[in-house]
Amino acid sequence: MFRYSEVNREMNDLKKAYERLGLPETATKDEVEKRYTLLLRQSRANQTQQDGAANDDFSEVTRAYRAILEAEDRKTVEHINQEQYGKYKRFAGTAEKIDHFFSYYKFHVIGAIAVIAIIIYGVNTYMDNKAERERLASLPPAALTASFFGEFYMEDGSQRTEPLNEALLAQFPEWERVDTSILNFSMDARSELDIAMQQKAVIQLATEDPDVYIMDRSIFDWMVRNDILTSLDEYTSGEWREILPSGAALKASTQEDPTEHVYGIDLSSSPMAEQLPLHRKELIVGIRIDAGNKDNALHLIETYLRAGEESAD
């Protein structure tokens, strides 16, 4: 009787977990993962506008997500055990213990198999990367590479940036190819995930070299402090002077130079920014100090500024 009520309670809790994520109980693990990722992004986008209740609400989402994954893991283990030991019927428990005993003493065999598996995985990964490099080599060179750093995410909730690339190419038809990436994180570390994403951002800064960074304000200040962006003083005081909206030229100082310079242009109000399939707070563009396509990066900024000037007229 106790076992029956416990199982019934677990089933009821699992049903509520699916309801909390807005999914049917028939949802696949992949659907659960995608739904949780979408809710996470939405929660992080809203946290700056809501009080602590938002955090508590998302904690319930996380508990529901973990409950579903744990239930899936238990089902997988039970299925495997049933296939392996079900034939022993009432002696299934004893057979499982004996099997585990002998498995313990052949760990070196398992270790050897694991090493072989790692080698095979490494070879496959190398081949996949080689194939990807060959595919990229067959494409025209990117006219612009852009990394979106901050609280940005695609409108469809996915991590695919192809729609973003297509939107930029539609705005700049003279370009044959653009490459974009999005790293959604906040400088205000509200969770372990935020800290992990900040660490990932540092790694990307060290290993990747896009032409432009598109940021929100907190990320812009952090970028400048790390001496990643090039000064735009000559453009804001020269050819862009007449088309710059008030407050669009953002000044800051680096750790090495206490003098303030313009390192970013706020294009949030440009009508071209509204054409991007992107959820955002701000759209601040800075050019990496060693950008390979600096002319195209400058062209993007100027085009967005002129579009804003025309709409104002």
- List, for residues 218-232, the tens digit of each pLDDT value: 899 988 988 899 999
Confidence grade of residue 254 (pLDDT, cut at 50, 70, 90):
confident
Can you give the pLDDT at residue 237? 94
Q: What is the pTM of this model?
A: 0.58
State how far the alpha carbon of 280 is from the alpha carbons of 27, 40, 259, 287, in Å. 29, 15, 30, 19
pLDDT at residue number 243: 94
User: Which of 157-161, 268-272, 280-284 is least confident?
Assistant: 157-161
What pLDDT, on the 0 to 100 scale, is given for residue 62? 83
Render pLDDT for 137-172 as a digit per residue (tens, 0 to 9): 677 899 999 999 988 989 888 778 999 999 999 999
- pLDDT surpassing 90 at residue 115: no
C-alpha span between 41 and 151 (Å, rounded): 8
- As a three-state string, the secondary structure of the chain is CHHHHHHHHHHHHHHHHHHHHCCCCCCCHHHHHHHHHHHHHHHHHHHHHCCHHHHHHHHHHHHHHHHHHHHHHHHHHHHHHHHHHHHHHHHHHHHHHHHHHHHHHCHHHHHHHHHHHHHHHHHHHHHHHHHHHHHHHHCCCCCEEEEEEECCEECCCCCCCHHHHHHHHHHCCCCCCEEEEEEECCCCCCCHHHHHHHHHHHHHHHHCCCCEEEECHHHHHHHHHCCCECCCHHHHCCCCCCCCCCCCEEEECCCCCCCCEEEEEECCCCCCHHHCCEECCCCEEEEECCCCCHHHHHHHHHHHHHHHHHHHC
Residue 295 pLDDT > 90: yes
pLDDT at 187: 79
In this predicted structure, what is the pLDDT of residue 77?
A: 61
Q: What is the pLDDT of residue 6?
A: 62
Give pLDDT, residue 102.
44
The token pair at 248 is: 């669009």
Q: Top-level CATH class of 141-312?
A: alpha beta
